Structure 1
Amino acid sequence: MGFPKSNLQTNAELLADAGYDGIEPNLTADGSLWDDKAVNEFADRIDGLGLDVPAISTTLHWEQQLSSADENTRRAGIEAGKRMIEVANTLDAGAVLIVPGVVNEESPYDEAYDRALESVRRLAVVGSQYNIYVCVENVWNDFLLSPLEFAEFIDRASESGPVGAYFDVGNVKRFGHPEQWIRILGERIKRIHVKDYRADVDTIDAFTYPLEGDVEWTAVNKALTNIGYDGWVTAEVPPYRTAPERMPPRVCSDLKHLFP
């Protein structure tokens, strides 16, 4: 989720107080996760709070695109992914969240696909050394737009190491049915992100908190049960603009209602 505070350890304390089981840190360009000492201190703190880490995420791959035609840009994205795997290993996360590529005028779909596949395979090789899943997330990147294509991409990348899906329920609602994606992806799903989506708003503003949009949560929960998924379900929502510290306990309560 979007954390209420800027300090990672403070956010961990807020989430522990709100009743969460874990916290998903985000690797940023100048954040503390690049510092081994800071990561070790964070590991000690969350251990004391009784929190686990489901995965390490990042926003860097929107700029350091793994599908970029520029070799230096791809290399930077791969290095960020490698660092995520190292942090995941230290924090016993078991997975990292990767944005595999971005399709635009400079990066045509077919070329982006080939470069993204090569980059994810390179990260999968590193992930295999640590037993860390490289999880590809479905995002608004004009790429891997169907569950069949998404599944095939994961299967091809998995030839090089542990690759799975970090399935975002809200992201799919724009152009598909989450429960169908879940059924088709099946055991490829290793992590879940949840947020809601208002179908009457066709912009980024359509995203909202669980239970406030048009996602059919009963169908989603049933689909997850049918594929035998019993892993992490992580909220990915922003803090409130006013009194941001009040958001985590409310969302935690709603998640426990949706996924008892």
Structure 2
Amino acid sequence: MIKCINTNSLEGAESYDELLEQAVKHRFAGLELSVDADRRLPPRIKGETWPTAIEKAQKKGLEICSVTTREYDIVGLGSSAAKVRDIAIEYLNNFIVCAAEEGRGAIVVIAAHENRPLGALLDGSYEQTFNLVFESLKTLAARAEEHFVYLAIENPGSGLLLSPLELRELIDEINNPYMGICLNPHYAERLGDPLDWLNILDRRIIAVHLPVEQPPQIEAQKNYQSLLTALDKRGFTNPIVYVKKK
């Protein structure tokens, strides 16, 4: 397992350089870059672009394990408005291309509901939203495979994909080797036991988001030690990303 921290989850840093120092201090091995539409790191460290952020991190011995964005989430890919979906797909397609060119192996993570309240209502029926999400993800998975970039969707805590069986079916139907799941146990436990989600989703999990308070390593290791132990027994070697609890 690669212990990483999301760049929005380290508080108190006035600059990206200070953020890197904090990551090293807390003994993280890598970062998950959270970037905006211009591929810059918001909000405290605007001005740092994706390429320069990668270069500076590597000089500190930190790996860029994954990248994500606050601009679009999994629910937005199922919007009933075709224009909204098209814009989201186009943006995330470009995001994948940038990951291939500049990300150096980073996994692209599509957040569950980054910019909407947990439990926000869908703008269409459940079935319609599910089908639209499926088609959007199928398109994105094809682009990810074309560029040899792994794409992971974070499991929502409400609103959509409410069981690990449903999420497993979605991934299996897309049937793309570059498409997987970013397991968030905090969201999973709203709907059941995170260990059940782990057992059912199994090899489809290619990244993990662990919700934490400050300092970043303590609470997650206490609350989710059984999950970390289970992942370790499975030989999981992909990113474990510590993210600020919402």
TM range (shorter): 0.7 to 0.9
1:32-79, CA deviations, whole angstroms, 9 ceiling, x for partnerless residues? 26xxx9332222211211111111111222498110111111112112
Q: Which amino acid aligns with 1:54?
A: C
The 3 A distance-change label for structure 1 pair 158 and 95 is: farther
What's the secondary structure of 2:80's corresponding residue? coil
Q: Does 1:175 align with 2:191?
A: yes
Equivalence for 1:117: 134
- Deviation of 1:84 (Å): 2.5
What's the secondary structure of 1:135's corresponding residue? strand
Quote the Cα distance in structure 2 between the aligned partners of 1:137 and 1:190: 10
- Deviation of 1:191 (Å): 0.3
Verify the 8 A CA contact 1:124 1:158 in the aligned structure 2.
no
What's the secondary structure of 1:145's corresponding residue? coil
Q: Does 1:224 align with 2:231?
A: yes
Equivalence for 1:237: 244
Q: Does 1:59 align with 2:66?
A: no
The 3 A distance-change label for structure 1 pair 100 and 88 is: same
Specify every segment of 5 or more residues in structure 1 that has no aligned partner in the other structure, as ranges: 198-207, 240-260
Aligned counterpart for 1:21 among listed residues 16, 25, 29: 29
Q: CA RMSD in A?
A: 3.2
Percent of aligned positions with the same letter in both sequences?
Answer: 22
1:178-221, CA deviations, whole angstroms, 9 ceiling, x for partnerless residues? 11110111111100111269xxxxxxxxxx97665898534313
Count of residue pairs the alignment pairs up: 227
The 3 A distance-change label for structure 1 pair 46 and 216 is: closer
Quote the Cα distance in structure 2 between the aligned partners of 1:128 and 1:183: 26
Equivalence for 2:45: none
Comparing both structures, which one devotes a greater share of its residues to helix?
Answer: 1
Quote the Cα distance in structure 1 between the aligned partners of 2:83 and 2:74: 12
Equivalence for 1:98: 110
Q: Does 1:82 align with 2:93?
A: yes
Quote the Cα distance in structure 2 between the aligned partners of 1:58 and 1:105: 20
Quote the Cα distance in structure 1 between the aligned partners of 2:74 and 2:202: 30
- Deviation of 1:138 (Å): 0.8
What's the secondary structure of 2:72's corresponding residue? helix
Quote the Cα distance in structure 2 between the aligned partners of 1:76 and 1:9: 33
1:148-204, CA deviations, whole angstroms, 9 ceiling, x for partnerless residues? 111111111234x5100100111111121111110111111100111269xxxxxxx
Verify the 8 A CA contact 1:135 1:163 in the aligned structure 2.
yes
Verify the 8 A CA contact 2:39 2:50 in the aligned structure 1.
no
Aligned counterpart for 1:154 among listed residues 171, 176, 183: 171
TM-score by length of 1: 0.75
Equivalence for 1:192: 208
Q: Which amino acid aligns with 1:170?
A: H
Greater RCO between the two (CA within 8 Å, min separation 6)?
2
The 3 A distance-change label for structure 1 pair 222 and 215 is: same
Q: Which amino acid aligns with 1:68?
A: S
TM-score by length of 2: 0.79
Quote the Cα distance in structure 1 between the aligned partners of 2:149 and 2:223: 31
Equivalence for 1:47: 58
Comparing both structures, which one devotes a greater share of its residues to strand?
Answer: 2
